[in-house]
Amino acid sequence: MYKIVSAIFLAENIKKIEIEAPRIAKKRKAGQFVMIRVGESGERVPLTIAGSDPEKGTITIIVQGMGKTTRELNSREAGETINDIVGPLGTPSHVENFGTAVSIGGGVGTAIAYPTAAALKEAGNYVITINGARSKELVILENEMKAVSDEAYITTDDGSCGFHGFVTQKLQELIDSGRKIDYVLAIGPIPMMKAVAEVTRPYGIRTVVSLNPIMVDGTGMCGGCRVTVGGETKFACVDGPEFDAHLVDYKNLSDRNKLYLPEEQQSSEGFTHRCRLAGKA
Amino acid sequence: MNEKTITTKERLAIPRQVMPAQDPEVRIHNFNEVHLGYSPEAAILEAQRCIQCKDPVCIKGCPVNIKIDEFIKLIAHGDFLGAARKIKEDNVLPAICGRVCPQEDQCEKTCVLTKKYTPVAIGNLERFAADYERETGNVELPRVKPPTGKKVAVIGSGPAGLSCANDLIQLGHAVTVFEALHELGGVLMYGIPEFRLPKEIVRTELEGLKKLGVQFVTNSVVGRSLTVDELFEEEGFDAVFIGVGAGLPWFMGITGENLLGVYSANEFLTRVNLMKSYDFPKHDTPVFNCKGKSVAVFGGGNTAMDAVRTAKRLGAEHAYIVYRRSMAEMPAREEEIHHAEKEGIEFLLLMNPVEFIGNDEQWLTGVKLLRMELGEPDDSGRRKPVPIPGSEFVLPIDMAIVSIGNGSNPLIKQTTPEIEVSRRDTIVVDINTMATSKENVYAGGDIVTGGATVILAMGAGRTAAKAIHEKLMGTDRGFNEW
Ligand SMILES: Cc1cc2nc3c(=O)[nH]c(=O)nc-3n(C[C@H](O)[C@H](O)[C@H](O)COP(=O)(O)OP(=O)(O)OC[C@H]3O[C@@H](n4cnc5c(N)ncnc54)[C@H](O)[C@@H]3O)c2cc1C
Ligand SMILES: Cc1cc2nc3c(=O)[nH]c(=O)nc-3n(C[C@H](O)[C@H](O)[C@H](O)COP(=O)(O)OP(=O)(O)OC[C@H]3O[C@@H](n4cnc5c(N)ncnc54)[C@H](O)[C@@H]3O)c2cc1C
Ligand code: SF4
Ligand code: FES
């Protein structure tokens, strides 16, 4: 059992949860994740470690309620526990001083990009962050991102905050303005990552994305998390989750992520129903 | 019959006792164990078939040299508990081994009756004695020696790790087992299905170890959560045993392997056994809905048989085994193949997949198969399958399960490079002691041999335990000074 130390909503449906896990807190590096099983009959789901406090022995995750598991997790409060956490898993982000590095986050992808953006800053890069959301209410980690950026931009689809448009448009603007960009990290919905890859491809800018295939063990045992990169099969939980954005087969990834749509819907509806009965939602 | 007065001729006249089993029509709709176990009468009769050879060659066929003639004699005399304890002198997991060992390639293969008659059902008797002891509540905890003050870390809770922990705790060492998953037991828990090995049996063994004082830490991936060096330096362990099992599943490298509906056997069995997706939506983890579908499993080992029979139980209309060679070359236990046939599994032999075919939404719809014929024997001594040109045809299927073996777990190698590994990334050990190239680090089981058997993993764990004890207590003869 792992104890939740604090749990607060950052935006509607996006919760920041701090959990006691001293070993993981001590070891984790930017870009790594944990597998979490909330309850006894729960699924194992991967969540990026957004931060840690080795002294306090805690890690932080930032969770977007998508389906049953993430919504159940987001219904937990400080003082409650979760059954299992294992990590840190995955290969840490490759961080060096590239020169000018752009970190792009879409939606909850901002939270996943945050630790790596911070590490890029620490490694001496000139860090530009572009964080996209559908609208103002969904913008997260604005101050945290500013603190690790030399330039920080926010984009919203509806123009309610920052730049009116997509993260890719902002990136294109930066490139068009003649800025020399050496490295791009893009994390968010699959179409966004694919679009960023297409923007940087003609300029040959080194671009990395963090992939989110369906995982089971997360330790390199089952082969379920396989993704196609450069025509080769890779296992995201051990070889990734970060890969060369220009080599990823995005279509295969988004197809494979639809494997359990009917079942996910069924679980999600069951959860909603139980919450209603409990008068919770 | 009075055991003392039975003549050899009379013994040979007793037919091999068949173990009762659930009817195939019934069992394909449930996950309960297929075999129901011997009655005491049947066990005694079967034990009386043993002619008590002067030179019991069956023992040489057993990887851990169980005193087979002695325990069978005890059963023949009706001393079932005595038999169980006799077996446990050499095998700490008899209820498990009696169920999953490939006896036809081991003790029963070398039994003298095999040539002219049918071998004594050694595996069934082993299982009977162990079940009797457990079911009558007579399992005695062994006595633990006084504490030595030494601490040993065991990585992985499969049969290799558990047997090593079992011996070390009894010798008085403090033992902590680190397991990557949220559940203990390794392949015994997440690989081999309930219908072959009830999980209750594995849990009983684990409870026994806990009572002896073994500490278990789940959710700890050595190489990620902590390293072998940290176990020594920060956690103060004196020795480490690595029993992390096999690693990532191999795929066939053919077109369409990432289509929706193509699984590895590891993933399929893990979802069903460990995550209990047969009980979806009560358990959250889903698995491909096999009901009324055509499922093809590629491979011919135990894992393939487990996968195909699981798919059948989940409601598959057609459940195929597609295997490159013929029935005679199949590595699975004879009994499993036999059970599979009875359950209506369709065997497509001498066929090799060349391509998976999918629809516009990328769901699997079929597999192109190429017919093979058997040629000359290859390195493994088995006749090599050769393709028959122009023999391709498409088999319509909805789900494919690839079960052609595993590579090695890379995590320890990556974080502890001084542990020598082979070209196949298995850990290199001195087979007398299971010592690796790193001081006070031992290894055994599938991580050393590649995918093998429960009994070999268990034997390796015990060999290592003995060597670790001698090393820590300063009584070794220095054969592991690398
Ligand atoms: C390496 C990695 C890091 C991630 N980090 C974060 C993070 O920091 N914050 C966050 O909010 N989300 C993160 N995700 C996504 C998160 O794991 C999924 O949203 C979550 O598993 C959905 O589960 P559910 O039951 O709530 O939803 P479901 O209704 O089950 O699924 C919704 C969608 O999530 C995906 N999904 C479902 N099950 C799994 C699974 N077992 N493993 C992976 N994906 C699955 C599928 O694409 C599915 O369509 C990460 C994913 C990966 C692979
Ligand atoms: C489906 C299936 C059916 C089989 N049927 C039979 C059969 O009928 N008869 C037979 O004799 N054999 C059978 N086998 C083979 C047999 O199960 C294995 O040979 C045996 O389990 C190997 O034991 P082990 O202890 O080496 O590894 P495993 O049983 O694989 O256990 C290793 C454990 O280590 C854990 N681990 C891995 N990496 C780490 C890490 N870095 N840190 C911490 N823990 C880690 C794993 O999670 C696992 O729990 C079968 C195998 C499978 C997959
Ligand atoms: S070889 Fe066969 S008959 Fe002889 S002792 Fe062993 S089990 Fe009995
Ligand atoms: S999640 Fe099982 S191998 Fe990656």
Query: For residue range A226-264, what is the model confidence (pLDDT) as tens digits?
Result: 999 998 899 999 998 999 999 999 998 988 888 887 788
Look up tokens 């809905």; give the residue: B289
Instruction: Convert the pLDDT of each residue in B85-127 to its tens digit.
Output: 999 888 888 999 999 999 988 999 999 888 888 999 999 999 9
What's residue B479's pLDDT?
Answer: 45
- pTM to 2 decimals? 0.91
Reading the block at residue B187, the tokens are 């392949």
DSSP assignment of B329-380: G--S-HHHHHHHHHTTPEEEESEEEEEEEE-TT-BEEEEEEEEEEEEEE-TT
What's residue B172's pLDDT?
Answer: 95
What's residue B364's pLDDT?
Answer: 94
Q: Are B184 and B157 in contact (CB under 8 A)?
A: yes
What is the dihedral angle through the alpha carbons of B413, B414, B419, B421, rounded to the nearest 10 degrees? 40
What single letter denotes the amino acid at residue A155?
Answer: T
Instruction: Provide the pLDDT confidence category of residue A152 given band limits of 50, 70 and 90.
Output: confident
What's residue B407's pLDDT?
Answer: 87
Chain B interface includes A37 (CB < 8 A) = yes
Instruction: Convert the pLDDT of each residue in B298-357 to its tens digit.
Output: 999 999 999 999 999 999 999 999 999 989 889 998 889 999 999 999 999 999 999 999
Instruction: Convert the pLDDT of each residue in A33-92 to its tens digit.
Output: 999 999 888 899 999 999 999 999 999 999 988 888 888 888 899 899 999 999 899 999
Q: Are B66 and B56 in contact (CB under 8 A)?
A: no
Of A154, A251, A268, A147, the C-alpha closest to A193 is A251
Q: Is the pLDDT of residue B481 over 50?
A: no
What is the dihedral angle through the alpha carbons of B334, B338, B341, B342, rounded to the nearest 10 degrees? -160
Reading the block at residue B100, the tokens are 């999953």
Task: Give the distance from CA A158 to its chain's centroid.
Answer: 22
Look up tokens 């062994």; give the residue: B142
Instruction: Convert the pLDDT of each residue in B406-450 to its tens digit.
Output: 888 778 888 888 999 998 889 999 999 999 999 999 999 999 998
Instruction: Provide the pLDDT confidence category of residue A138 given band limits of 50, 70 and 90.
Output: confident
Taking CA atoms only, the protein residue closest to ligand 1 atom 39 is: A214
Reading the block at residue B165, the tokens are 């922990």
Instruction: Provide the pLDDT confidence category of residue B237 given band limits of 50, 70 and 90.
Output: very high
Q: How far apart are CA B133 and CA B139, in angstroms?
A: 6
- How many of the other CB atoms lie within 10 Å of CB of A279? 6
ipTM for the predicted complex? 0.88
Please, how many CA atoms are within 13 Å of residue A217, restricted to the half-sphere of its CB?
A: 30
What's residue B1's pLDDT?
Answer: 55
Task: Give the distance from CA A173 to its chain's centroid.
Answer: 24
Task: Give the distance from CA A101 to its chain's centroid.
Answer: 18
Q: Which of A66, A216, A272 to mutate to test the interface with B (most CBs of B within 10 A)?
A: A216
Q: How far apart are CA B12 and CA A183, in angstroms?
A: 79
B197 pocket-lining for ligand 3 (C-beta < 6 Å): no
Q: How far apart are CA B156 and CA B144, in angstroms?
A: 22
Of A77, A14, A81, the C-alpha closest to A50 is A14
Task: Give the distance from CA B262 to its chain's centroid.
Answer: 24
Q: Are B50 and B72 in contact (CB under 8 A)?
A: yes
A83 vs B267: CB contact, 8 Å cut-off? no
For residue A88, whether the previous peptide bond is cis, meaning omega lies within 30 degrees of 0, is yes
Chain A interface includes B248 (CB < 8 A) = yes
Q: How far does the CA of residue B292 sit from the closest CA of chain A (Å)?
A: 17
Question: In terms of CA atoms, which chain B residue is nearest residue A232?
Answer: B253
Question: In terms of CA atoms, which chain A residue is nearest residue B227?
Answer: A27
Please tell me what DSSP assigns to residue B421.
B
What's residue B229's pLDDT?
Answer: 94
What percent of chain B is modeled with pLDDT above 90?
A: 70
Reduced to 3 states, what is the DSSP secondary structure of residue A58? Answer: strand
Q: At what angle do helices B159-170 and B454-472 cross, to 10 degrees?
A: 30
For residue A70, report the phi and psi dihedrals to the nearest 5 degrees.
-70, -30
